[in-house]
Amino acid sequence: MPNTFHYLMRAGAAAVWLAGATPVTAQAPLAAATRSTADTGRAAYTPQDVQFMTGMIAHHAQAVMIAGWAPSHGASASLRAMCERIVVGQTDEIVLIQRWLRDRHEAVPQPDTIYHPMPGMTMAMVMPGMLTDAQLAQLDSARGQQFDRLFLTDMIQHHQGAITMVNTLFGSNGGGEEEIVFRFASDVYADQTTEIARMHRMLDALPGSTR
Check if the beta carbon of residue 143 is closer than 8 Å to that of residue 37.
Answer: no
Torsion, Cα of 26, 45, 6, 125 (10° steps)? -50
Kindly tell me if the per-residue pLDDT of 19 is higher than 70: no
Q: What is the pLDDT of residues 191-211, one digit of tens each?
A: 999 999 999 999 999 987 765
Q: Residue 109: its pLDDT value, please? A: 84
- Under 8 Å between Cβ of 189 and 161: no
Indicate the CATH number for domain 4-14+27-35+46-118+132-205: 1.20.1260.10
Q: How far is CA 59 from CA 4, 123, 177, in A?
A: 11, 10, 21
Residue 17: its pLDDT value, please?
33
pTM of the model: 0.77
HSE-CB at 33 with a 13 A cutoff on CA atoms is 9
- For the chain, the structural domain boundaries read 4-14+27-35+46-118+132-205
